[in-house]
Amino acid sequence: MQMLIIDRFEGDIVVVEADNNMLELPRDKFSGDVSEGDIIIFENDMYHADKVATLERRSKIAARLRNCTK
């Protein structure tokens, strides 16, 4: 299963990274609880933030950064 990550918002478009490719998806297909850097999932014809997966990913990134500064 590919991981979809929100890169940025551009007006009515959401730019999403999917397996090192960038996709442009319509903003109206996203729930209101998404933000840049969120891992998203597609359910019930809408994209939603996967809060657990996003927190895990952010924790791993923060740990890597801490290890680089030591």
CA distance 37 to 7: 6
**Which is it for strands 13-18 and 39-43: parallel, antiparallel or unpaired?**
unpaired
Return the CATH number at 24.
Answer: 2.30.30
pLDDT, position 29: 97
CA distance 15 to 54: 17
pLDDT, position 55: 95
Which domain range does residue 34 map to?
4-68
What residues contact 13, with CB distance under 8 A and at least 6 apart? 24, 25, 26, 27
Tally the domains of the chain. 1
Q: Is 46 helix (H, G, I), strand (E, B) or coil?
A: strand
Q: For the whole model, what pTM was predicted?
A: 0.86
Residue 66 has pLDDT above 90, yes or no: no
Express each pLDDT in 4-53 by its tens digit.
999 999 999 999 999 989 999 999 999 988 999 999 999 999 999 999 99
